[in-house]
């Protein structure tokens, strides 16, 4: 079985740590990548870390995960609330899926309360800041180590 976890990030998350720190915190996406990689490697797993502002690129990467990844941690950004296409791609993927939101989407505007991705996710994280990514990685490694 693959020992790789894909961590996928959707639109505007390249701005993490550069705008709106009151909502998303001060860490950059590069900081998140460094911490997730270190954690996964300490548990015997590898990480591929991606960000794209383009729905089709995210879908292509989920398709690639079908062959290359045992788990996906995904923060789909605003596509969470709009994208049946990302849900369809995740439904065609057999591994573990964890949905990760930095903010607590349920405490925010009503349009952020519904997620298409949650219908496929094995776990959902929201409101733990960027530490949520590491919690998802830890859970994925834990389940994969037992498999
Ligand atoms: O809380 C999350 O992680 C979100 O997935 C972030 C999305 C938002 O549309 C979701 O409702 C919740 C937005 C990502 C934008 O990220 C930025 C980060 C810093 C500055 C500006 C945007």
Q: How confident is the model at residue 20 (pLDDT cuts 50, 70, 90)?
A: confident
Ligand 1 atom closest to 75 (CA):
5
- Is the pLDDT assigned to residue 112 strictly greater than 80? yes
- pLDDT by residue (tens digit) across 55-98? 999 999 999 999 999 999 999 999 999 999 999 999 999 999 99
Residue 98 tokens, joined = 């964890």
Mean pLDDT over all residues of the chain?
A: 97
CA-proximal residue: ligand 1, atom 9 (nearest)? 78
Sorted by where each starts, the structural domains of the chain and their CATH numbers stand as: 4-145 (3.40.50.9100)
Which protein residue's CA is at the shortest distance from atom 2 of ligand 1? 101
Q: Is the distance from CB of 131 to CB of 103 less than 8 angstroms? A: no
Residues 6+ apart with CB under 8 A from 93: 62, 65, 66, 72
Is 80 exceeded by the pLDDT of residue 109?
Answer: yes
Helices assigned H by DSSP within 47-114: 55-68, 84-91
Residue 112 Cβ inside 6 Å of ligand 1? The answer reads yes
Determine the pLDDT at residue 1. 77
pLDDT of residue 122: 98
């Amino acid at each position: 079985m693959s020992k790789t976890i894909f961590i996928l990030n959707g639109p505007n998350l390249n701005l993490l740590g550069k705008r709106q720190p009151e909502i998303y915190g001060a860490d950059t996406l590069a900081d998140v990548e460094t911490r997730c990689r270190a954690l996964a490697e300490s548990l015997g797993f590898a990480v591929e870390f991606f960000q794209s502002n383009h729905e089709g690129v995210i879908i292509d990467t989920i398709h690639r995960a079908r062959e290359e990844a045992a788990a996906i941690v995904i923060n789909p950004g605003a596509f969470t609330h709009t994208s049946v296409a990302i849900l369809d791609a995740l439904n065609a993927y057999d591994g573990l899926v964890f949905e990760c939101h930095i903010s607590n989407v349920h405490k925010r505007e009503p349009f952020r309360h519904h997620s298409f991705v949650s219908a496929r996710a094995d776990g959902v994280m929201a409101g733990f800041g960027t530490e949520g990514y590491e919690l998802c990685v830890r859970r994925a490694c834990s389940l994969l180590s037992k498999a």
